[in-house]
Homo-oligomer: A and B are copies of this chain.
Amino acid sequence: MKTPEKYKQSLRQMRPNIYKFGELIEDVTTHPATRWTVEGHAQMYALQQDPKYQELVTTTSSLIAERIFRHLSILKSPEDLYAASKQKRLMFNLTGTCTGALCAGWNAINSMWATTFDMDKELGTDYHIRLKEWLITAQKRAITISGALTDPKGDRSLPPSQQEDPDMNLRIMEQREDGIIVRGAKIMICGVAAANEIFVLPGSGYREPERDWAISFVIPRDIEGLTIVETRHPNDTREAEEGFDTPVKIGGITQAFLFFEDVFVPYERVFMCGEFNYSLSAVMNFIAPYRATIGACVAGQGDVMIGASILMARANGLSERVFAQKLIQMSINNETTFGMGIASAAMGTQHPSGLWQCDQLLANVTKVHVATYPYQSKLLAQDIGGGIVETGCMPSYKDFTNPKYGHLVQKYLKARASAEARTRAARLVEWLTVGAGIPGCMHGGGSPEGAKLVIRATTDFERCIGLAQRLAGIEEEIPPIAKK
């Protein structure tokens, strides 16, 4: 199976089309803006060689009689979902942050697995077959894939078809004989710099007037007409600096803006093309497993926060026993987001396509917790670590090593641990809590408010009313008040 080195080579072979700070990134595996995320993703390729993790990061394909990377598999049972959760937690453990090209793309494939199955069955299309064929090659090539959902959207009060600029949501400009021309953008897309391909999903809730916006396809990252701009993240310029002010060199998160200037996509890579009625299904199939398993991601980062907090306590000369209640709370936070995702999988159901569908209610409750619990853990990490961790309030590495006064910096940063060890631990807490390691928990996979809408729609309030009425012995009907 593909090795880390081969993976990096595959990235180097692509056409450079990623920019940051006004410059073209010639080689994503060495450029400071992208190399750390590439290193993070590369770790996954190394894990398949490690007997301890082999079983977790690979699985047997349901399509070809081969061992494949798990992030390219179709999720067909609760156990597949548990493994996905565990793998996501592990990747956060090992990289400290998001490995986006092993995540949303995977979920997107699975979402379209079910949606294309339904379309083919109900509309007589051949999308499911196309997807299957492409997936077989993807599994064989052992590629990484970003998933692209979020459109720029423009004015949120208007649907795509009524935007002043119709490009504010990605759309079909032309249907040719051999494929389609698309224009628009997808924004805030994780892991693009580390991805071989990009899987595109439509937005949700499209209706008849949004026919031209209902599209799904997969493309090589370096396809003609696609311009990629990597966005800023906290402290990103430090990533180009020498030293340990960016403490983590084996992981990094990137989030890109993708500009499609009339990109041609051949039909064998197109999985939805105008079927607006299925855009909601495509999105709902995506969010259930995504919101379920993201609970494991943040638990994985939470594990690191626990470790970093204990290191800081020890480095300061304090026993972690002093902070027992806080560390227990951090563990509770981790297990709650992790566990709720597991529950969502356990309570799922099987789609006729074979896909295991997570329980929507539990998945969306998970998402709401993902928007709260990890933030409490961050505060606890800052609380335990003391003032220097809170905003990374220490002199820079350049000052730390300055020939004139570096010895003073080091003299006074020393505590129970050496100045360097303590500084590295403190920079790690900073990186995790207000630095480049923070993932987008709040809005990643949709906002908590969006999740609450799903919770509202999937909670059986009428059943609850019936229970109460029966218990209280109320025979009179008390109808809801009509909307004005």
B411 contacts A167, C-beta separation under 8 Å: yes
Among the interface residues A368, A414, A456, A467, which one has the most CB atoms of the partner chain B within 10 A? A467
Docked CA distance A231–B430 (Å): 13
Provide the residues of chain B in CB contact with A315, threshold 8 Å: 478
State which of A106-114, A154-162, A206-214, A216-224 sits at the interface with chain B. A154-162
- How big is chain A's contact interface, by range? 35 or more
- The answer to whether B249 touches A473, judged by C-beta atoms less than 8 angstroms apart, is yes
Number of copies: 4
List the B side residues contacting A277 at CB < 8 Å: none
Question: Interface centre among A22, A234, A249, by most B CB within 10 Å?
Answer: A22
Chain B residues within an 8 Å CB radius of A421: 474-476, 478
A132 to chain B: closest CB distance in Å?
Answer: 29
Whether A387 and B335, one on each chain, are in contact in the complex, defined by CB atoms closer than 8 angstroms, is no
Q: Do A386 and B234 form a contact, CB below 8 Å, given A343-B346, A379-B375?
A: no
Task: Output the nearest chain B residue to A322 by Cβ-Cβ distance.
Answer: B449
Q: How far is the CB of A66 from chain B (nearest CB, A)?
A: 28
Q: Is A465 in the interface zone, CB < 8 Å from B?
A: yes
Instruction: Pick the residue among B188, B249, B340, B464 that contacts A336 (CB under 8 A).
Output: B340
- Are A471 and B383 in contact, CB atoms less than 8 angstroms apart? no
B383 and A447: CB pair below 8 A?
yes
Residue pair A449, B365 in contact (C-beta under 8 Å): no
How long is the Cα–Cα vector from A277 to B53 in the complex, in angstroms? 36
The segment from A171-179, A194-202, A391-399 found at the interface with B is A391-399
User: Could you jot down 25 A-B contacts, CB within 8 Å?
Assistant: A20-B396, A154-B414, A154-B416, A155-B415, A156-B416, A188-B393, A232-B245, A233-B393, A234-B234, A234-B391, A234-B430, A255-B391, A257-B394, A304-B464, A306-B468, A307-B465, A307-B466, A310-B464, A314-B481, A317-B481, A331-B365, A339-B365, A371-B383, A387-B440, A428-B468
Interface residue from B310, B382, B444, B448 paired with A383 (Cβ < 8 Å): B448
Asked whether A229 and B409 contact (CB < 8 A) given A247-B473, A443-B386, the answer is: yes
Asked if A388 CB lies within 8 Å of chain B CBs, one says yes
When the two chains form the complex, which single residue of B304, B371, B391, B399 contacts A19, counting CB atoms closer than 8 Å? Answer: B399
Partner of A21, one of B95, B230, B399: B399
- Cβ proximity bits A343-362 to B, threshold 8 Å, 1 near / 0 not: 11111000000000000011
Cβ-based interface call for A105 (8 A): no
Interface flag for A459 (CB, 8 Å):
yes
A251 in contact (CB, < 8 A): yes
Q: Is A165 in contact with chain B by the CB < 8 A criterion?
A: yes
A342 at the interface (CB under 8 A from B): yes
A316 at interface by CB-CB < 8 Å: yes
Tell me the smallest distance from the CB of A317 to a CB of chain B, in Å: 4
Q: Which 5 A-B pairs have the closest CB atoms?
A: A307-B468, A339-B343, A307-B464, A155-B317, A387-B443
In the assembled complex, the Cα of A361 lies from the Cα of B328 at a distance in Å of: 11
